Structure 1
């Protein structure tokens, strides 16, 4: 993958994620972690090569056929991208609204999800009034409200303290236990080491698998 006429950001990568697996992506700043996630959630196309997602060759798939695959992928963006004019409830429910569902059909499910991520008492709050950890958990709720098969997260604990980072990590663990495939890009080497999960290490445009460094912790 390259941007414009620049050098390759990613090259000669080959890996697969088994359904229900849990991996981190590690690597220095600028290594291409976010670019790799963009390829997986279909926000970018590879300059060359193949990407198979849910059994489909998405690298050459027509644009009009991509939305139905995107709905099977949840994304927690590094910049969160919450809509400031919507309440926490409406932010979390947005993917369902865009998919054509009506409020009576999802009201209870969204309220239950927000309670599960610890925002049950904050569902009517505006994003500007939420603390950093609350915003992160709201972004996670929005990413999983459609029950995606794959959850991608780009630096989801970058701007929170250690205690909140651990709480957010535990949410990912619970989602994985429910069957969601999880892939997290992070600089938090301590969290990776403590998790006991394998990491895909990206550096100089190439990817290597690093086995778990310790026992898994919930």
Structure 2
């Protein structure tokens, strides 16, 4: 994918927040898990990533979160070539990306409030600077009355909403979700989807991996479909 020269003779800034150019990925010496992916995502867009188990959805999200690097091709995030970034700069780039995992990855010894606030504490912020913001966010995801309890007392849907709150508390520019509705009933899945749609409306670029085709169809959002590691754009359904 080429860029155009502007009137000053320089290249225009890349408008895409994510750009894959002929990207492949493998684990060790194994066959390629992802093959020749070429696509871009505009800032503020919403895309599902669909495909059967083993198609490469999680591997694609790992590339986007910088938990893995391509074995071939060019990957640009926020206009930066990931391959040339020093490892020391990766944590700063990751702070612009939020991730919601299917298995939640909550810290059982921390309260709902403290789990949500953890990314802010890691950044070095003091509790007085974020206490009200965290409380408002938990109210927004429906956990206002649960913020002082421990994760073990939460239902599956509550744990997922807590995981979403933690992922977005520092207002990431990209929000990744790996099967976030896989452990909840259909009614809760729709509620969780609505949270992601609202976060997208607030400006986050959302990449939502799921095998739930009914949820995809219901949303009307575009999707990128993986089959045996190859990615094919799929038009939005009406």
TM-score (norm 1): 0.97
The correspondence for 2:63, drawn from 27, 36, 39, is 39
* TM-fit CA distance, 1:47: 1.2
The correspondence for 1:180, drawn from 200, 204, 208, is 204
CA distance in 2, matches of 1:100, 1:54: 24
The correspondence for 1:201, drawn from 218, 222, 225, is 225
Q: Does 2:81 match 1:76?
A: no
The correspondence for 1:132, drawn from 137, 156, 173, is 156
CA distance in 2, matches of 1:50, 1:134: 38
Q: Tell whether the 8 Å contact from 1:24 to 1:192 is kept in structure 2 after alignment.
A: yes
* TM-fit CA distance, 1:204: 1.4
Q: Does 2:166 match 1:142?
A: yes
* CA deviations over 1:106-126 (Å, ceiling 9, x no partner): 000000000000000000111
TM-score (norm 2): 0.89
CA distance in 2, matches of 1:59, 1:142: 28
Q: Which structure: larger Rg?
A: 2
Q: Tell whether the 8 Å contact from 2:98 to 2:167 is kept in structure 1 after alignment.
A: yes
* CA deviations over 1:85-122 (Å, ceiling 9, x no partner): 00000000000000110100000000000000000000
Q: Tell whether the 8 Å contact from 1:84 to 1:127 is kept in structure 2 after alignment.
A: yes
Counterpart secondary structure, 2:161: helix
Structure with larger RCO (C-alpha < 8 A, sep 6+): 1
The correspondence for 2:130, drawn from 106, 110, 119, is 106
State the partner residue of 1:190.
214
Unpaired segments ≥5 residues, structure 1: none
Shifted more, 19-28 versus 40-49: the winner is: 40-49
Unpaired segments ≥5 residues, structure 2: 1-24
Q: Does 2:186 match 1:162?
A: yes
State the partner residue of 1:29.
53
State the partner residue of 1:9.
33
Report runs of 4+ in structure 1 exceeding 6 Å deviation: none
CA distance in 2, matches of 1:79, 1:167: 18
Number of residue pairs aligned between Structure 1 and Structure 2? 214
Q: Tell whether the 8 Å contact from 1:157 to 1:168 is kept in structure 2 after alignment.
A: yes
